[in-house]
Amino acid sequence: MSAASTPSPVDGATTPTPLLLEARGVVKHFPIRTSNGKKIVQAVDGISLQVRAGETLGLVGESGCGKSTLGRCLVRLIDVTEGQVIFDGTDITTMSRRELRSRRTGFQMIFQDPYASLNPRRRALATVEEPMRTHDMGTEQEIRDRAMHLLEIVGFDPSYADRYPHEFSGGQRQRLGIARALAVTPRLLIADEPVSALDVSIQAQVLNLLADLQRDQALTYVFIAHDLAVVHHIADRIGVMYLGELVEVGDSSPVYNHPAHPYTEALLSSIPVIDDEVEKRDRIVLQGDLPSPIDKPPGCAFAPRCRYSQAICISDKPVLQLIGDGREVACHFPLVAAATTTLAV
Amino acid sequence: MSESTAAQPLLDVRDLRVSFRTRSGTVDAVDGISFTVGRGEVLGIVGESGSGKSVSMLSVLGLIDNPNCVVEGEVIFQGEDLLKLDDKELRRIRGKEIAMVFQDPMTALTPVYTAGWHISEQIRAHEKVSKKAAHARAVQLLDAVGIPNATDRVNSYPHEFSGGMRQRVVIAMALSCNPSLLIADEPTTALDVTIQAQILELLRDLQSEFGSSIVLITHDMGVVSQMSDRVLVMYGGRLAEAGPRRALMRDPLHPYTWGLMGSIPPTDGTRVERLAAIPGAPINPSDPDRDRCLFSSRCGFASDACRPQPGLVEHVHGHLDACVLPYDQRPALRLEALTTVTTESGASA
């Protein structure tokens, strides 16, 4: 994003930190067979984004918006249909499997379901040791010591090292997943809905742990979630996705406090707020569901549900455009007007 | 403790106990809770997994068919003790007088039947009406819950609906006999936020239109805050705190409620470094050490006084909690709880 050149209103940093991850026009299409012949699911449809070292980029959107597919493309768990993913200066989309394997130590993933992402027959310690052995990261003793250290970092007592996944609660499993991801000293963690399967009190523990780890180990995160409040809490920048595309990208606070895209506004308005005063707020309740990513409408994908939509929205597709405060919005009628733009610059 | 204007509450649950016999002893999933639901009232029940919030309502309806489950206490609904009724008598009430909406709208519907079939079936089970009349009512109901083009959609199968639409079908089914009490168990948890907002709005509208009472079970403080008149906070099968929504949201009394609220990222646009998380994991209901405040193992203010289990005390009108901390010091202690957790680092195992 060109956001980098403008001073960020959040941290006010003037020296831009180097780019760690960049996606250029990433497209992921899945061919499917339907009763009407072959069709294509346009899961991710031309996404470009940049993640600077040490920052957290939050990706938010409803189910089916392609955020998880994008996350998987970013670490090449699945191959992209088109586009490039550049990690630390190298394009990982064209790498050979072998090359990719050695590069994988740089980026790791944390998954949503801590029950499904751990081998039930492997003890906690062995689970964390495994990736270090795969990548040949030292002697057996070194690997063991580091694994024990990692278990401690994520908050386990040493006595937990010999336990199997079923002996852990959901939150503990998620922490084990985090320890495993950290084993190969990655610089980038892609976390796909890491807290949405957890109880509220446990969610907060895991979010705190992720924040501590980022501070202590200089990690970079791509944090994927459907909960805008959680994303706002953890992310420095937010990318809002709708039907396989980014509709708004910018620094966390402005996006959250003054959304520019009508979809972001609606998402925000949907969050149930703890409020003892408000009886009935003026809430924007979106009508209808997410359209199918198979036959996308020609204009703005959000237009059918948008309360500001006009003729141009149905016919012409808006592209991501900079609106001044380092924010990019794909909308013909962004809610943050040009006046705010000049103020911010 | 009821706030309702009607002298008699619609539902009066007294000392409800649900225990399961297991190989390793008896587990008290619900440990002696009492509450009422007034006519036209929305009662929110909040708690984490294992708090007994779902089990308590399932047992009220006699829906737990596990032979190792023992339900004790009294559940007075419109003057009758539901726990004393046999299955046949219960069936007269279930679905007609008390209806339930479950979390997962896919498993609540039979995949081989249409939406219309589900609703007519329900109507014809309770009322003597013709198939045609029941079908016509089904169309009306689907229309009322906001399903576009209800005349056609009445013949659609569950898989042809999206998650939010399916939940609407389930709600239409629940409302088909105009129940006086609707129990909604995590009705929006499986849905996207935008769809959640739609369903909550629908429930609110229907509630004001039909005047049913609603028991809303959820883990989400925000949902409860937006929907309920009164709130129960459950922990380990017991009531930790109960009170009118406003009082409870503004001045939560119990440290567990503080923790639940502190665990949610602020929604007002401010950003905090760390959340005031509750250490440890929710209590395992099979934990044998029960003669104490069950939250004391995770509470920053725990002391010897937390044993035996403190009883529920009413502090202000209708606002009660089970905690030994001095009432007048609660606001200061709550502030302290927020700040200590914020500065502390590292998660506990």
Residue that is written with structure tokens 């299955």 in the block: B87
**Pick from B200, B274, B282: CB nearest A208:** B274
Question: Which residues of chain A make contact with B277, given a CB cutoff of 8 A?
Answer: 201, 204-205, 207-208
State the smallest CA–CA distance between residue B247 and chain A in angstroms: 8
Query: Who among B192, B219, B264 is closest to A63 (CB)?
Result: B192
Contact A205, A193 (CB under 8 A): no
A22: pLDDT confidence band, cut at 50, 70 and 90?
A: very high
Helix (H) or strand (E) holding A303: none
Instruction: Look over chain A and give the mean of its residue pLDDT values, rounded to a whole number.
Output: 88
In chain B, whose CA is at the least distance from the CA of A273?
B222
Q: Any residues with CB less than 8 A from the CB of A98 and at least 6 apart, and which? A: none
Neighbour count for residue B273 (Cβ, 10 Å)? 12
> What per-residue confidence (pLDDT) applies to B102?
86
Task: Judge whether residue A276 has pLDDT over 70.
Answer: no
Instruction: Assign B346 a pLDDT band (cuts: 50, 70, 90).
Output: very low
Distance CA(A194)–CA(A183), nearest Å, equals 17
Residues A323-341 as b/e (b if ≥16 CB within 10 A, e otherwise) read bbbbbbbbbbbbbbeeebb
Nearest to A233 among B193, B246, B265 (CB): B265
Range 275-314 of A in CB contact (< 8 A) with B = 275-277, 283, 285-287, 289-290
Tokens representing B275 are 């959340």
Q: Cis peptide before B244, with omega less than 30 degrees from 0?
A: no
Nearest by CB to A201, from B198, B226, B260: name it. Answer: B260
Secondary structure (3-state) at A183: coil
Sorting pLDDT into bands at 50, 70 and 90, what band is B340?
A: low
Per-residue pLDDT tens for B149-202? 899 999 999 998 888 889 999 999 999 988 999 999 999 887 888 888 888 988
Considering only residues B124 and A279, tell me which one the structure prediction assigns the higher pLDDT: B124
Going from the C-alpha of A181 to that of each of A87, A106, A149, A190, B8, the distances in angstroms are: 17, 10, 14, 10, 57
Q: Which two tokens stand for residue B169?
A: 């079908």
Asked if B267 lies within 8 A of A201 by C-beta distance, the reply is no
Residue-wise DSSP of B73-101 = EEEEETTEEGGGS-HHHHHHHBTTTEEEE
CA gap B257, B237 in Å, rounded: 15
For chains A and B, CB pairs below 8 A equal 144
Helix crossing, B330-343 with B255-262: angle to 10°? Answer: 40
A contact test, residue of B49, B106, B169, B193 with most A CBs within 10 A: B193
Residue B5 has pLDDT above 50, yes or no: no
User: If you average pLDDT over residues B222-242, what whole number do you get?
Assistant: 94
Closest CA to A48 of A239, A205, A218: A239
Which residues does chain A have within 8 Å of residue B194's beta carbon, measured at their own beta carbons?
62, 266-267, 270, 285-286
Minimal C-alpha gap between A205 and chain B (Å): 6
Mean pLDDT over residues A150-177, rounded? 91
3-state helix, strand, coil in chain A (%, to 5): 35, 20, 40
Please name the member of B48, B198, B275 whose beta carbon is closest to the beta carbon of A208: B275
CB contact under 8 A, B349 and A160: yes
d(CA A21, CA A28): 18
Q: What is d(CA A249, CA A261) in angstroms, rounded to the nearest whole number?
A: 10
The verdict on a CB contact (< 8 Å) between A286 and B194 is yes
Is the CB of A62 less than 8 angstroms away from the CB of B194?
yes
What is the pLDDT at residue B3? 45
Q: What pLDDT score does A162 carry?
A: 94
Q: What are phi and psi of A131, to 5 degrees?
A: -65, -30
Average pLDDT over residues A280-295: 74
What pLDDT, on the 0 to 100 scale, is given for residue B163?
85
Average the pLDDT over A99-107 and give the result.
92
CB-CB under 8 Å, B345 with A155: no
CA diameter of chain B? 67
Pick the range with the lowest mean pLDDT from A39-48, A256-265, B273-282.
B273-282
Least CA distance to B49: which residue of chain A?
Answer: A199
Write the ipTM: 0.83
Report yes or no: A209 at the B interface, CB cutoff 8 Å: yes
Mutate to test the interface with B, among A168, A230, A265, A274 (most CBs of B within 10 A): A274
CB-neighbour burial class of residue B329 (10 A; exposed 0-12, middle 13-18, buried 19+): exposed
Compute the radius of gyration of chain B from its Cα atoms: 21
From B192, B44, B97, select the one nearest A289 (Cα to Cα).
B192
Residue B288: which pLDDT band, with cuts at 50, 70 and 90?
Answer: confident
Match 């016999």 to its residue by tokens. Answer: B21
pLDDT band at A96 (very low <50, low <70, confident <90, very high): very high
B264–A270: do the CB atoms touch at under 8 Å?
A: no
Q: What is the pLDDT of residue A100?
A: 93
Here the tokens at position B258 are: 């503080």
In this prediction, residue B276 carries a pLDDT of 86
pTM for the predicted model, two decimal places: 0.86
Q: Percent of chain B having pLDDT more than 90?
A: 58
